[in-house]
Structure 1
Amino acid sequence: MAKGILNILKSKKELIPLAGILSLAAAGAFSFCLYSLFSKSDVIIHKIGSSEPWETIDPAKPQKLVTINQQWQPIEELEKVKKLTK
């Protein structure tokens, strides 16, 4: 009764495209998780380092996957408050 996946796909050929699409979607989701884990600065695995990791993020580097016409300029009031709290 316990047939392998390959035996099922050999006997029911109409399931091959479905298995291919699901495999591709799973591989894409896994690869995006790895991409986010290693390249995004707002993804944190452990909290041993800085208690405020958002302070080390470069504001000139876009954090989104797609950024269109975004210009960053520092806000003077926030910079003053940041200097006073340190």
Structure 2
Amino acid sequence: MGFFQLLMKKKELIPLVVFTTLAAGGASSFALYSLKKTDVIIDRKRNPEPWETVDPTVPRKLITINQEWKPIEELQEVRSATR
């Protein structure tokens, strides 16, 4: 008996299959979306210090509300002294 034949026999399983498929698709698409972000590190050998290339003006969260980025003076002094 095939999968679709089982669904046609037991029609109460159709919503379960639909919602499970949608949940798996949503989880997969969010995982792929997260991998494209710059703060996710996949290959550390080619880029050992990826935090140096992160743009502070681009939000890193899925939803960002009232985010302002201001540079920390002490950190900027340390960064300029080490370069």
TM over 0.5: yes
Indicate which of 66, 72, 78 corresponds to 2:69.
72
Within-5 A mapping of 1:45-64: 45-64=42-61
**2:5 aligned with 1:7:** yes
Bigger drift between 25-34 and 46-55 goes to 46-55
1:78, CA displacement in angstroms? 0.3
Tell me the C-alpha RMSD between the 2 structures.
Answer: 1.1
Partners of 2:47 and 2:40 lie apart in 1 by 13
Partners of 1:46 and 1:11 lie apart in 2 by 49
Which residue number in structure 1 is paired with residue 79 of structure 2? 82
**2:18 aligned with 1:20:** yes
One-letter code of the match for 2:35? L
Structure 1, unpaired ranges of 5+: none
Question: Runs ≥4 in structure 1, deviation > 6 angstroms?
Answer: none
Identity over aligned pairs, percent:
57
The TM-score with structure 1 as length reference comes to 0.88
Partners of 2:79 and 2:51 lie apart in 1 by 13
1:44, CA displacement in angstroms? 1.9
